[in-house]
Amino acid sequence: MRQNPVAEPVHRLVPSPAGRLHLVEQGEGPLVLLLHGFPESWYAWRHQLPVLAAAGYRAAAVDVRGYGRSSRPDAVGAYRMLELVEDNAAVVHALGERSAVLVGHDWGATIAATSALVRPEVFRAVALLSVPYTPPGGPRPSEVFSLMGGQDEFYVSYFQSPGRAEAEIEPDVRGWLAGFYAALSADTMPGPEAPDPHFVSPGGRLCDRFPAGPPPAWLGEHDLDVQAGEFERTGFTGALNRYRNMDRDWDDLAGLAGAPLTQPSLFAGGALDASTTWLTAAIEAYGTTLPGLMGAHLLDGCGHWIQQERPEEVNRLLVDWLAALPT
């Protein structure tokens, strides 16, 4: 692994179709865009930025539209996937580059995969963390989610009505985030006998199923303060609007139904993460759906927040993969 002197990270605002996007940049070399998921921000990549920079890359962790210091359009439809794809292309061009590698976690993984699928001339490789690649198409998302959970409501369905989840979260953003992070972390997630925190009981709230007790080991008080401070300032509507566009995305991407992602790719997930256990069939289909796959890794004893729970392992996987990419 090549180690270079690393300058301090730099905060930047760049123009995009959303208005502006905030990013934190560190290092020089080939551009690597880092895309966070829900409910996070650029800060989710704090462990990766200096390591990628030291390995000879220009790493840029973006606040996705609706988050942090990035613009938050009012219209729900402004958060459809194709808008986010164009945001990513705009970042590449605003940074004076013609192409970039994408690394995404959670929703960021799906945004990264779709960006590479729709704009292959800009995005030359893609790494997906926690959420496997599933090609566009299949049943309409709202129909699938309505059938999950029996009498309980799946969290994605719970997030659909504007204002509903916000009313639960925003009175105590810090406490809600701490519980949500704990519910999906390997060392604090509820056991198999406990109610599944991905579902809401009739008349209940999502947080009713969050675990009590200490926060996960990876989440320090300062880390929680940073993440909570962003959402206390912005609210959650922009972040939740991503979930409210899944049927729009299904319509927008109908012409790419079943399309494989052909660029060089990497997948890494937590063995205890529901995102990987529920989508085992998607991982098993990678021979067809990810023909450029260079490695697929399930980290034993790891939950959903993979690059924060296991930063050293994830950093090693990313740096080794980036070094092996064709130039």
Which pLDDT score is estimated for 10?
Answer: 97
37 phi/psi in degrees, rounded to 5: -115, -155
Q: Which of 36, 63, 105, 106 is catalytic?
A: 106
Bond preceding residue 39 cis, omega within 30 of 0: yes
Which pLDDT score is estimated for 7?
Answer: 86
User: Rounded to 5 degrees, what angle do the CA atoms 266, 299, 154 make?
Assistant: 85
* Annotated catalytic residue 106: yes
pLDDT tens-place string over residues 144-188: 998 888 899 999 999 999 999 999 999 999 999 999 999 999 999
pLDDT band (50, 70, 90) for residue 4:
low
pLDDT at 3 over 90: no
Q: Scan for tokens 């056991």, then name that residue.
A: 191
Which pLDDT score is estimated for 176?
Answer: 98
Give the residue with greater pLDDT, 191 vs 4. Answer: 191
pLDDT band (50, 70, 90) for residue 203:
very high
Q: Which domains does the chain have, with CATH numbers?
A: 10-324 (3.40.50.1820)
pLDDT at 5 over 70: no
pLDDT at 1 over 50: no
Question: What is the crossing angle of helices 221-234 and 173-183, to 10°?
Answer: 120
